[in-house]
Amino acid sequence: MRNKITLNWIKTQIVSGEYEFSSHAEEEREAERIFISEIESALINGGIVEVYSNDPRGSSCLVLGYGEQGCPIHIVCGKTQSGKLRVVTVYIPTLPKWIDDRTRRHKK
């Protein structure tokens, strides 16, 4: 798949500064008090936990990484039309939606 997002591509985009935050991601980052440096580190050292290949906005994925104090951070990543990494949203996984850092709670 040509538009598939890989962890290596994400890391390359972060290191080269070829990324942007959506306005939603910026609002969530500020609300959760997550530093940009923590997001960059989480993306460089993290791992993909979910892939959203059928997203109508284009291929995207959920990356799990950790902040400065070891706090888990979820980052949804997509790709802009110009080929840059876009941080779609960022948040700290918590109940009721997440059982733990990697396990989504299923609706009954």
In a domain, 1, yes or no: no
How many domains, in total, are found in the chain? 1
In a domain, 73, yes or no: yes
CATH number of the domain at 84, please.
3.30.2310
Q: What is the pTM of this model?
A: 0.90
pLDDT tens digits, 29-84: 999 999 999 999 999 999 999 999 888 878 899 999 998 888 999 999 999 988 99
In a domain, 102, yes or no: no
In a domain, 48, yes or no: yes
Cα angle 51-55-58, degrees, rounded to a multiple of 5: 95
In a domain, 104, yes or no: no
In a domain, 98, yes or no: no
Report d(CA 6, CA 18) in Å as an integer. Answer: 15
105 has pLDDT over 80: no
